[in-house]
């Protein structure tokens, strides 16, 4: 929970300040914060944008969720709830990680965790989340 709360503020600031609007090639990653909360925050930010856009400063050209989907990423190790709401967050911004060598990570049971966590996730989405998105973000070759 602590990681989640520490990730919310910088995400809101990056989006709300206009930094992502002014720097469309800037990417950011929320690390060790999970993803179960992400859909809720994106929905709340979009709702506030719709209701209070006349007071926004700076004015955003896109919805807050669109900036996140374009430029943001979030890591997780074992977050079934976060995967259930991927229609809100999008798939391209989700990065699975084992968090090795930390004790809260999935090692040495990473394969079992992936199979359990991704049991109902389509194979193409699973490939993106487990490695393809990170490869694209960091410029790693994919074979």
Tell me the pLDDT tens digit for each residue of 53-71. 777 788 999 999 999 999 9
Cα-Cα-Cα-Cα torsion 29, 67, 34, 100, nearest 10 degrees, comes to: -20
For the chain, what is the mean pLDDT?
Answer: 92
How far is the CA of 75 from the CAs of 18, 55, 66, 70, 137, in angstroms? 23, 32, 18, 16, 12
DSSP single-letter state for residue 60: P
What's this model's pTM, rounded to 2 decimal places? Answer: 0.90
Tell me the pLDDT tens digit for each residue of 96-130. 998 877 777 888 889 999 999 999 999 999 999 99
How far is the CA of 84 from the CAs of 14, 48, 114, in angstroms? 25, 23, 15
State yes or no: pLDDT of 92 exceeds 60. yes
């Amino acid at each position: 929970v602590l990681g989640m709360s520490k990730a919310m503020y910088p995400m809101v600031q990056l989006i709300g300040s206009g930094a992502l609007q002014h720097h469309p090639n800037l990417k950011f990653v929320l690390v060790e914060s999970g993803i179960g909360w992400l859909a809720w925050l994106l929905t709340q930010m979009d709702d506030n944008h719709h209701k209070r856009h006349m007071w926004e400063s700076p004015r955003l050209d896109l919805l807050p969720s669109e900036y996140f989907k374009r430029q943001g990423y979030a890591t997780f190790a074992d977050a079934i709830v976060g995967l259930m709401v991927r229609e809100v967050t999008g798939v391209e911004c989700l990065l699975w990680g084992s968090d090795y060598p930390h004790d809260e990570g999935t090692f040495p049971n990473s394969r079992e965790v992936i199979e359990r966590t991704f049991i109902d996730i389509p194979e193409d989405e699973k490939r993106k989340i487990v490695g393809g998105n990170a490869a694209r973000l960091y410029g790693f070759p994919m074979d």
